[in-house]
A = this chain, B = another copy of it.
Amino acid sequence: MYTLGNNIRMHLFGKSHDAHVGCILDNIPRGMRISADEIRNEMSLRKPKDGIGTPRTEDDHVEILSGLKDGAADGSPIRMIIANKNVDSSKYKEIVNIPRPGHADLPAMVKWKDHDIKGGGQFSGRLTAPIVAAGSIAKQMLSPMNIKVAAFTRSVGSVSDEMERDMEDALASRDHATRACSPELDDRIRGEIISASKDGDSVGGVVECIVTGLPTGFGGIWFDSLDAVISKAVFGIPAVKGIEFGGGFALAKMRGSESNDQYFIDNDSVKAMSNNMGGIVGGMSNGMPLVFRVAFKPTPSISKEQRSVDLSSMKETVISVKGRHDPCIVPRAVSVVEAVTALVLADVSVSEAI
């Protein structure tokens, strides 16, 4: 159910208000060194920051319980847990029968009579913490192949970054709480989020992810296409509503003479003059940077009053979601997009090596 991957495989476990969340990561190459520092860095990027995230604070310390020996993978499954320390279920009591609009509540309540609404149960964004930890290990596996994965905030609400961005820009976003590429955009996006928050509202946005270093031909075909397996992993992240590679939806308005990336020779190797394909043709890398964008809807939990229904009485009512929620999930989702992408690429790299 909660498994991602074929060769490099991650099994998630835990719920938002359990003692821990965590994952098992299978088939990391025996002997690969694993840096706890790098895991810690990635975890810190996912943390809420500076008044633009949830007030729930977790130290997010990743404890590796098995699978390592003297700092290297020992060939057995790597099992990691992260404690849930700052749990507060008090806010959920009054809405136990009232599905929050935009949330998983309605299908979950209808499907499972015993659905536990507290903290989102199995659907909670809290489970993205072990995803980021596993993603860090995947990045460390990709690093010697010179494959780099970095994402950033392309837009939040009405504020959009209009510049073309590269790997360096994406890495620079790590210095900004909003994961914007520049201090100026960081300010504007922070403003957009705080404004929504003050209104008891939330706001959506777009994450863009860039991958460099993929060899030409990297990826599978048909249902194993690189874009197919990435999109499956990305839609596994809560709140994702769209994905596009390269020119994406804009390509649908173009003619082929405009969208096709024509080839030329640069330093004895074949390069494309543009990157409308986002680095993928026929499901495989064409050697250009892999570029895709992911649309996140606004956080569904808002304190603004909304119409809903009490499922026990089947009467209409209104709901105002208290709890502690991020007014905008995008800045923290950047890490999660990077993580699932790294996991998918590590998995495909094993297939490619066969």
A338 at the binding interface (Cβ < 8 Å): no
A167 at the binding interface (Cβ < 8 Å): no
**Which stretch (A53-61, A136-144, A183-191, A198-206) binds chain B?**
A198-206
Residues of B within 8 A of A145 (CB): none
The 8 Å CB contact of A30, one of B26, B112, B218, B244, is B112
Q: Show 11 A/B contacts (Cβ-Cβ < 8 Å), sorted by A.
A: A7-B354, A76-B122, A104-B282, A105-B282, A107-B286, A196-B255, A206-B252, A244-B249, A247-B297, A248-B295, A260-B306
A93 at the binding interface (Cβ < 8 Å): no
Q: Are B284 and A107 neighbours in the complex by a CB distance under 8 Å?
A: yes
The 8 Å CB contact of A104, one of B15, B101, B284, B311, is B284
A146 at the binding interface (Cβ < 8 Å): no
A69 at the binding interface (Cβ < 8 Å): yes
Q: Are A222 and B265 neighbours in the complex by a CB distance under 8 Å?
A: no
CA distance A145 to B70 in the complex (A): 34
Q: Are B297 and A102 neighbours in the complex by a CB distance under 8 Å?
A: no
Query: Known: A205-B252, A242-B243, A302-B256. Contact between A24 and B26, CB under 8 A?
Result: no
Which residues of chain A from 42 to 63 have a CB within 8 Å of any chain B CB? none
CA distance A283 to B26 in the complex (A): 18
Q: Are A263 and B309 neighbours in the complex by a CB distance under 8 Å?
A: yes
Residues of B within 8 A of A19 (CB): 65-66
A11 at the binding interface (Cβ < 8 Å): yes
A259 at the binding interface (Cβ < 8 Å): yes
Which residues of chain A from 1 to 42 have a CB within 8 Å of any chain B CB? 1-4, 7, 11-15, 18-20, 22, 24, 26-27, 30-31
A213 at the binding interface (Cβ < 8 Å): no
Q: Are B295 and A255 neighbours in the complex by a CB distance under 8 Å?
A: no
CA distance A69 to B89 in the complex (A): 15
A86 at the binding interface (Cβ < 8 Å): no
A331 at the binding interface (Cβ < 8 Å): no
A171 at the binding interface (Cβ < 8 Å): no
Shortest A195–chain B CB gap in Å is: 9
Q: Are B223 and A253 neighbours in the complex by a CB distance under 8 Å?
A: no
Which residues of chain A from 240 to 285 have a CB within 8 Å of any chain B CB? 240-249, 251-265, 268, 270, 272-273, 276-278, 281-285
Q: Are B203 and A122 neighbours in the complex by a CB distance under 8 Å?
A: no
Closest to A325 in B: B256
A119 at the binding interface (Cβ < 8 Å): no
Query: Known: A74-B114, A231-B235, A248-B242. Contact between A223 and B263, CB under 8 A?
Result: no
Residues of B within 8 A of A206 (CB): 249, 252
Query: Known: A122-B76, A216-B111, A242-B243. Contact between A103 and B255, CB under 8 A?
Result: no
Query: Known: A18-B66, A283-B104. Contact between A251 and B241, CB under 8 A?
Result: yes
The 8 Å CB contact of A299, one of B13, B15, B256, is B256
Q: Are B297 and A252 neighbours in the complex by a CB distance under 8 Å?
A: yes
Residues of B within 8 A of A232 (CB): 223, 228-229, 231-232
Q: Are A77 and B217 neighbours in the complex by a CB distance under 8 Å?
A: no
Query: Known: A106-B263, A260-B102. Contact between A27 and B1, CB under 8 A?
Result: yes
The 8 Å CB contact of A123, one of B3, B221, B257, is B221
Residues of B within 8 A of A107 (CB): 216-219, 281-282, 284-287
